[in-house]
């Protein structure tokens, strides 16, 4: 899905109304019809199996009749049974039972609505599905658990600023012949130990361990619509932002999409392998819209209810994909909350990244975070704090970036630091602070302090945000690139066309040094640590593997860059000063040096003082030079050890010593110094 105009759109909407509280929370005329709908969120929704047999319970308050059809196969063939369902007006549900345990069978529902039988649907709660997700499957989930699953646990997270996120797509990581991975494009790819590139360097899960990230964020891995699972030989690629069945894994990532247990078991095996490696698994979830409108499973069960509409009855489209869901309606809110709880419980998922989170309302997101915390306090929830179009949901109710302080235990992406560091995402040629564009300093500083209130940061000069919207650094995810828009390598090539790749790599190092030393949670895109590119394709959501797959030969070629990323990550992990947990701490311990940006642009210098956040180092000096020429900064006299200089980094501060004074910083580079003594 193309979200390339998202931020600009969100901003224009925001400036108009985001923080006005005068708008009443009145429901629209369209909403009125649902006011008295009964709701039901029991765990037996749609399917349950116990000793008395197999039980179906479909929520569809306005249906006139409902049936469940039983099949022997996941596609093709006629129904072997057609069971009439009985209505319970108190819960709005239709139920039917079979005295047998129907494991191995498949089912669909059909409802009579407005005098018309709608198409068959697997429902909205199918936890297992046949090929291409058209029929739900009846499986015993206990049979899908890998060995040792009961003892499986993700990494414990004390503070979300300790998390280091690596965003990846299953096919990107493993499809290239140089990956050395056998299960290419599959969940199982990340279960393979000791895979190497042709030059003998680690790939796959060993590469992740070597790099040191704490969590992988996997692009949509629920069952999505666009890849034909029945024809894997076509090698189709899609990011997966076109949800079909929210509670079952995508079949094309399994070794056998025809076997409903295969995708479940293999995804769990992936999670377990990552957990065994100490790495958490975050899922990208897209509850904000469905792939189809009238033909979506939501509409085939309870027409009109789950999506928002304008008062004229037309679908509203804040997702830019044709529709948007209605988290503000109770049954939809329960669906989202229970769905993430299911993934956390059944698949041991460690975090959720909400696509276009601002389509959801604040109350829903708060309930999501609160319920997940009960299951596992280490679960990290963050999202895109914007929409891709206008919504009937009032702006003050939206889970917008600017509303993040109204939420608890939720973080948002900082488009502030993203655009200020590398240049605006809508203009390929635009440069940023790290690539020589002046005037970005204050917005970068907003990123450095994680959008919290800081006495030395002037928010009126911010490009994207004009006030400190985060109450805590744990509300902010910092990044320069992700799957959307030009990824870092391509952005650097387009915006620095006259430069060599070695100069661009210097800029890449600087850009990521800013991200990984900033307060908040750092986030990176898979493969940028080895200077992977996507041949300049900014919206590669259905581009072939030849564009999207990571060429692991690049690791040997760009090993210096890889080692720099590794060093940056180790530095951050070893030093809590970069991971403060309160705005007060940041205001007190992070002190910017006075630099006149009008006279010496592209220069930022600050200190993390007095063993910030319990750091063993007394003071850390962080200096960024984003200009194409060397610049000098006056550093207070003292016994400094050098942590990073001119494209080199040592987490142990082993790059020499200096007494301070006037220090020169190479073009497009960071200088980090430490007073290591007590």
Contacts with Ca ion by CB under 5 A lie at: 223, 250-251
Residue 238 · residue 186 · CB < 8 Å: no
**Residue 108: CB partners within 8 Å, gap ≥ 6?**
68, 69, 71, 120, 121, 122, 123, 134, 135, 136
Residue 216 · residue 527 · CB < 8 Å: no
CA distance readout (Å), 97 to 69, 85, 105: 12, 8, 14
Name the residue nearer to Ca ion (CB basis): 250 or 490.
250
CA 275, chain centre distance (Å) = 18
The distance of closest approach from Cβ of residue 2 to Ca ion in the complex, given in angstroms and rounded to an integer, is 20
**Residue 150: CB partners within 8 Å, gap ≥ 6?**
none
Q: Which of 384, 485, 533, 551 is catalytic?
A: 384
Strands of 48-50's sheet, edge to edge? 48-50, 53-59, 93-98, 86-88
HEC secondary structure over 67-134 = EEEEECCCCCCCCCEEEECEEECCCCEEEEEECCCCCCCEEEEEEEECCEECCCECCCCCCCECHHHC
CA distance readout (Å), 38 to 42, 47, 235: 13, 19, 44
User: Which residue from 555, 560, 597, 468 is spatially nearest to 520, judged by alpha carbons?
Assistant: 468
Cα torsion 587, 592, 598, 602: sign: negative
Residue 336 · residue 360 · CB < 8 Å: yes
**Residue 314: CB partners within 8 Å, gap ≥ 6?**
none
The distance of closest approach from Cβ of residue 45 to Ca ion in the complex, given in angstroms and rounded to an integer, is 22
- Look up residue 26 and give its DSSP letter: P
3-state secondary structure (DSSP) of residue 635: strand
User: Does residue 498 carry a catalytic annotation?
Assistant: no
Q: What gap in Å lies between CA 387 and CA 382, rounded to an integer?
A: 14
Q: What gap in Å lies between CA 659 and CA 637, rounded to an integer?
A: 6
- Count other Cβ atoms within 10 Å, centred on residue 365: 28
Q: What gap in Å lies between CA 354 and CA 372, rounded to an integer?
A: 14
User: Does residue 409 carry a catalytic annotation?
Assistant: no
3-state secondary structure (DSSP) of residue 56: strand
User: Which residue from 505, 511, 539, 536 is spatially nearest to 524, judged by alpha carbons?
Assistant: 511
Q: What gap in Å lies between CA 573 and CA 560, rounded to an integer?
A: 20
**Exposure string for 508-527, b = 16+ CB within 10 A, e = fewer:** bbbbbbbbbbbbbbbbbbbb
CA 206, chain centre distance (Å) = 22
Q: What gap in Å lies between CA 307 and CA 47, rounded to an integer?
A: 23
Angle at which helices 415-422 and 488-495 cross, to 10°? 40
3-state secondary structure (DSSP) of residue 222: strand
Residue 673 · residue 641 · CB < 8 Å: yes
**Residue 627: CB partners within 8 Å, gap ≥ 6?**
436, 601, 602, 603, 667, 668
Residue 262 · residue 146 · CB < 8 Å: no
Nearest residue to Ca ion, by Cβ distance, number only? 223
CA 553, chain centre distance (Å) = 27
Can you list the alpha helix ranges (DSSP code H) found in 356-440?
Answer: 362-375, 415-422
3-state secondary structure (DSSP) of residue 197: coil
Catalytic residues: 355, 384
């Amino acid at each position: 899905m193309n979200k390339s105009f998202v931020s600009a759109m969100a901003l224009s909407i925001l400036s108009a109304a985001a923080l006005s509280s005068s708008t009443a929370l009145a429901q629209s005329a369209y909403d009125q019809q649902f006011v008295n709908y009964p709701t039901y969120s029991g765990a037996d929704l749609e399917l349950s199996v116990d000793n008395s047999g197999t039980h179906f319970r479909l929520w569809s308050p306005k249906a006139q009749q409902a049936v469940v059809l039983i099949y022997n196969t996941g596609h093709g063939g006629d129904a072997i049974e057609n069971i009439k369902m009985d209505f319970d007006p108190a819960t709005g549900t239709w139920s039917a039972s079979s005295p047998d345990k129907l494991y191995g069978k498949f089912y669909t529902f059909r409802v009579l609505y407005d005098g018309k039988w709608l198409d068959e649907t697997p429902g909205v709660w199918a936890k297992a599905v046949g090929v291409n997700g058209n029929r739900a499957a009846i499986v015993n989930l206990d049979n899908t658990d890998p060995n040792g699953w009961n003892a499986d646990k993700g990494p414990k997270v004390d503070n979300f600023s300790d998390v280091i996120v690596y965003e990846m797509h299953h096919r990107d990581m493993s499809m290239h012949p140089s990956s050395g991975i056998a299960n290419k494009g599959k969940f199982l790819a990340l279960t393979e130990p000791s895979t190497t590139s042709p030059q003998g360097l680690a790939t796959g899960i060993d590469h992740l361990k070597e790099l040191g990230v704490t969590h992988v964020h996997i692009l949509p891995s629920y069952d999505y619509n666009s890849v034909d699972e029945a024809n894997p030989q076509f090698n189709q690629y899609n990011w997966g932002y076109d949800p079909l069945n929210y509670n079952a894994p995508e079949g094309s990532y399994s070794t056998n999409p025809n076997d409903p247990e295969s995708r479940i078991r293999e995804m769990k095996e992936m999670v377990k392998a990552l957990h065994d490696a100490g790495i958490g698994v975050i899922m990208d979830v897209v509850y904000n819209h469905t792939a189809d409108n009238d033909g979506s499973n939501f509409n085939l069960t309870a027409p009109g209810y789950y999506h928002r509409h304008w008062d004229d009855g037309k679908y509203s489209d804040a997702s830019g994909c044709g529709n948007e869901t209605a988290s503000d309606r109770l049954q939809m809110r329960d669906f989202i909350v229970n769905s993430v709880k299911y993934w956390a419980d059944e698949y041991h998922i460690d975090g959720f990244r909400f696509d276009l989170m601002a389509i959801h309302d604040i109350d829903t997101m708060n309930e999501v975070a609160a319920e997940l915390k009960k299951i596992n306090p280490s679960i990290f929830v963050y999202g895109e704090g914007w929409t891709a179009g206008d919504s009937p949901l009032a702006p003050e109710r939206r889970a917008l970036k600017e509303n993040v302080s109204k939420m608890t235990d939720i973080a948002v992406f900082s488009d502030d630091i993203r655009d200020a560091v590398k240049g605006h995402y809508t203009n390929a040629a635009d440069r940023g602070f790290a690539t020589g564009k002046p005037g970005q300093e204050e917005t970068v500083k907003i990123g450095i302090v994680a959008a919290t209130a800081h006495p030395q940061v002037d928010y009126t000069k911010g490009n994207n945000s004009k006030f400190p919207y985060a109450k805590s650094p744990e509300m902010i995810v910092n990044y320069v690139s992700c799957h959307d828009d030009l990824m870092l390598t391509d952005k650097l090539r387009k915006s620095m066309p006259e430069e060599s790749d070695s100069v661009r790599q210097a800029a890449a190092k600087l850009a990521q040094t800013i991200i990984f030393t900033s307060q908040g949670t750092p986030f990176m895109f898979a493969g940028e640590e080895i200077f992977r590119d996507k041949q300049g394709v900014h919206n590669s959501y259905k581009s072939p593997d030849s564009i999207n797959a990571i060429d692991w030969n690049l690791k040997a070629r760009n090993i210096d860059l890889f080692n720099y990323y590794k060093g940056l990550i180790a530095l951050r992990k070893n030093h809590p000063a970069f991971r403060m947990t309160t705005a007060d701490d940041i205001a007190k311990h992070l002190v910017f040096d006075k630099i006149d940006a009008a006279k010496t642009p592209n220069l930022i210098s600050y200190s993390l003082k007095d063993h910030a956040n319990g750091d063993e180092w007394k003071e850390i000096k962080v200096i960024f030079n984003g200009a194409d020429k060397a610049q000098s900064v006056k550093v207070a006299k003292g016994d400094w050890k050098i942590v990073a200089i001119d494209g080199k980094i040592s987490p142990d501060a082993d790059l020499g010593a200096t007494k301070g004074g006037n220090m020169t910083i190479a073009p497009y580079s960071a200088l980090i110094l430490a007073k290591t003594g007590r």
